[in-house]
Structure 1
Amino acid sequence: MPGPPIEGSPMHARQLYSLPEPPRAPSARLHAIDSHTGGEPTRVIFEGLPELDGASASELRDQLAEQHDWVRRASVYEPRGHNDMFVAALYPGQPDPAIPRVVFMSAAGYPDMCGHATIGVATTLVEMGWVDPGDEVLTLDVPGGLIEVSLQRQGARVHAVTFRNQPAFHLKRVAVPGPQGDVPVDVAYGGQWYGFLPASAFGLRVVPEELTRLQAAADEVRSSLVAALETPDPRTGSPPAVANIVWYAEPASEAGDARNVPIAPGGVFDRSPCGTATCARLAVLHAQQGLEVDEPFVNEGILGTRFHARIRRIIDVEGYRGVIPEVTGDAWLTGVSDMWIDDQDPLGQGFVV
């Protein structure tokens, strides 16, 4: 649970009034701050979470998934959320209180890392007054490891957040069937696994008007890719779980270098340029086109919002040439959620249509 709000912060001002109380005591009650990063939502739950004994964010993630998945279902799914909602459960740091522990949750499960949500969590921590006003660098403990976050701030307002991710690397290029022959798909890891291919190879554009077609084609590509990909994850020896298909295209503005939209099973798509996909794309561009250390790369999302990224250094990942990526974006707080869960409600723990 966050510490006391700093005087003058929005959370401090909130103490001047009280949220309405439920007409009867709910079975559980979750408090959250909502935000969006480049259009993609992040719901940061800061109160009402189960008390757990896990030391790291990874251990907390496993305990939530195995014993308390109701938190994810109730906060992500309808009637309180939707299939594209993204949630971050915020736990105090342990043993270091200055390093908050964060568990990411989505309709797909519990990812190791999420870039847009990292930006959202950091912005929430600062703008709600939960970190020292002088802090310009934070460290977050997420299931994928420790993530360093740098802040461009003016008082309580965050203008931009830069996170330095865990290693990203390009695994291989795989051919999948397309409308006019085989199409190359670059498989890469950036905190999650992705398959990258040009939208033009399927006669598509990365625009909202073609989203339905992009989603349908992503299902076809995913099936072909899973069948064709035989190379294991060099870190684990297991098959890589490439659930996310990323369509890329030329940027819509002169300010960008590329445009993309990641699509997960069920048609779930990222409104933002996607932080971990941008990290994985840096690894692909380094391996395939020689993108250099500190060379800027500006990635656009399907809404036209942008992340600024660069490779900070080159690193070996179990024999593969990997990169340490850095991504910058901004987030905006959108409201407060006070979620009541009643065990008598047959749909109270969420549903998917």
Structure 2
Amino acid sequence: MDIAQSLTTTPNTIKCIEMHTTGEPTRIIYAGFPPLTGPTLLSQRAHAEKEYDHIRKRIMLEPRGHYDMYGAILIQNTELVRSGEAHIGVLFTHNGGISTMCGHATISLGRFLVDTRDENVFPKRGELVLDEESLTVGVRLHAPCGVVDVTVPVMQSADGMKSDPARNVAFISTPAYAAAVGVRVSVPEEVRWGELGGRKSITVDVSYGGAFFALVDVRELGFKEGLKKVDLERMTQVVGKLKGYLETHPDIVRACQHPEDERLSFLYSVMVVDSQVGVNPGGVDGVETGLCFFADDEIDRSPTGSCVTARMALAYAKGERAVGQRWAYHSVVSSHFQTGAFVGEIVETGLRIEGENGPARDAVVVRVEGSAYYTGASSFVVEEGDVTGHAGFTMKSVTQ
């Protein structure tokens, strides 16, 4: 047995498929993550956070990953899988923990779940049904925020049906809503940055698209050149300070109370928006660009599918979008390559989200589409005595 075969068959090997969506990685962990206990996906998420966070770090951070790595752990057994409402569950991972929703990873997962034939990886793979007219397959994915319906285009191959990378994957969001519109936030002196000039406050919107996003116009932050030519290092410094402040700001905390579950009730990201930048991909009524900061100052390379959902819901609440109106959303990466924009479209209105954790909300359902590609496969092990690589690290963590 050579060394490559030895490493892939070592006990406790973590096996992954590597993909990207507009440059944003999705490391799909399909085998080797310890079994999670709990009657619900959210309780399994809590188990992973409490007992196996060192393994999350091992997979995401150096030396196996990097600061901006993103992952998806497949969970074969959840309450909604058992009830038949979903085909499979997932936990989304990043440099700071486990998120509640991720659009770019959902797009990647749609392709992988159609393409895999391994029933140990995807026990309900045989339940997927081909729509012969549209040549698509539907996958119901149980994310921490709820069930996400994914539509995957397919084509015939020598060994049967497989995903078609030439056509976009689409997903239907869980209900999304504008949580707070036009919040005037005073910025204390210790948080302010030079680009603000003499201003002491900014205007922020908060919207929910499976996670909570604070949305702010790039010029509201004082960056007059917008996102067409942005000093990324400087923007990261500014948004890092701002995000930490917003996470504890009473008005933002109040806006981020999900009616149904306190475990969904936290500010996930700050999205910096520029409505003056973006190449129109065609077939849409408008285009804009965003720069998404989430987790521990992680930057999304993709247009951020869950925030596309949140931005569409916010625009609808403001009277800026109509049902069926298609809008393109770029990241700075897709703007650079002039390809890879996500397209959002409101497909349903009149929903009501109610619960005991917060005020009831009027919600919409959004369809988001985009493309993902395979980049490789990985098998990760830990050799005895490997202190550096046991739980992973960042350069930030070892220099502070």
Q: Which residue of 1 aligns with 2:279?
A: 253
Q: Which residue of 2 aligns with 1:100?
A: 88
Q: Structure 1 residues 64 and 240, CA, compared in 2 at 3 Å: closer, same or farther?
A: closer
Q: Deviations over 1:32-84 (max 9, x none)?
A: 00000111100111111212343443232222112222321111011000111
Q: Which residue of 2 aligns with 1:284?
A: 314
Q: Deviations over 1:294-329 (max 9, x none)?
A: 211111111123101111112223433221111111
**How far apart in 2 are the matches of 1:205 and 1:290?**
21
Residue 197 of structure 2, aligned match among 159, 175, 179: 179
**How far apart in 1 are the matches of 2:168 and 2:146?**
22
**How far apart in 1 are the matches of 2:289 and 2:301?**
12
1:34 corresponds to 2:18: yes
Structure 1 letter corresponding to 2:149: E
The count of residues paired between Structure 1 and Structure 2 equals 337
**How far apart in 2 are the matches of 1:340 and 1:199?**
42
**How far apart in 2 are the matches of 1:207 and 1:336?**
34
Tell me how large the CA RMSD over aligned residues is: 2.7
Q: Which residue of 1 aligns with 2:249?
A: 227
Q: Report the CA distance between 1:126 and its aligned residue.
A: 1.9
Aligned identity (percent) is: 24
Residue 312 of structure 1, aligned match among 310, 325, 347: 347
Q: Structure 1 residues 134 and 317, CA, compared in 2 at 3 Å: closer, same or farther?
A: closer
Structure 2 letter corresponding to 1:313: E
Q: Structure 1 residues 57 and 210, CA, compared in 2 at 3 Å: closer, same or farther?
A: same
**How far apart in 2 are the matches of 1:278 and 1:246?**
10
Q: Structure 1 residues 296 and 317, CA, compared in 2 at 3 Å: closer, same or farther?
A: same
**How far apart in 1 are the matches of 2:329 and 2:217?**
14
TM-score (normalised: structure 1): 0.86
Q: Which residue of 2 aligns with 1:8?
A: none
Q: Report the CA distance between 1:26 and its aligned residue.
A: 5.3
Structure 1 letter corresponding to 2:143: V
Gaps of 5+ in 1: 1-17
TM-score (normalised: structure 2): 0.77
Q: For residues 109-258 of structure 1, what are the structure 2 equivalents within 5 Å?
A: 109-129=97-117, 131=125, 135=130, 136-155=137-156, 156-158=162-164, 159-172=167-180, 173-176=182-185, 177=187, 178-179=196-197, 181=199, 182-201=201-220, 202-203=222-223, 204-207=225-228, 209-225=230-246, 226-227=248-249, 229=251, 231-232=254-255, 233-235=257-259, 240-249=265-274, 250-255=276-281, 257-258=287-288
Q: Deviations over 1:195-252 (max 9, x none)?
A: 1111122225225752112211212332443435263515169695224111111232
Q: Which residue of 1 aligns with 2:327?
A: 297
Q: Report the CA distance between 1:24 and its aligned residue.
A: 11
Q: Structure 1 residues 120 and 186, CA, compared in 2 at 3 Å: closer, same or farther?
A: same
**How far apart in 1 are the matches of 2:377 and 2:144?**
25
Q: Structure 1 residues 47 and 223, CA, compared in 2 at 3 Å: closer, same or farther?
A: closer
**How far apart in 1 are the matches of 2:129 and 2:8?**
42
Structure 2 letter corresponding to 1:253: V
**How far apart in 2 are the matches of 1:306 and 1:46?**
27
Q: Structure 1 residues 206 and 92, CA, compared in 2 at 3 Å: closer, same or farther?
A: same
Aligned with 2:254: secondary structure? coil
Q: Which residue of 1 aligns with 2:337?
A: none
Is the 1:27–1:343 Cα contact (8 Å) retained in structure 2?
no
**How far apart in 1 are the matches of 2:393 and 2:300?**
21
Is the 2:88–2:141 Cα contact (8 Å) retained in structure 1?
yes
Q: Report the CA distance between 1:166 and its aligned residue.
A: 1.1
Q: Report the CA distance between 1:284 and its aligned residue.
A: 1.0
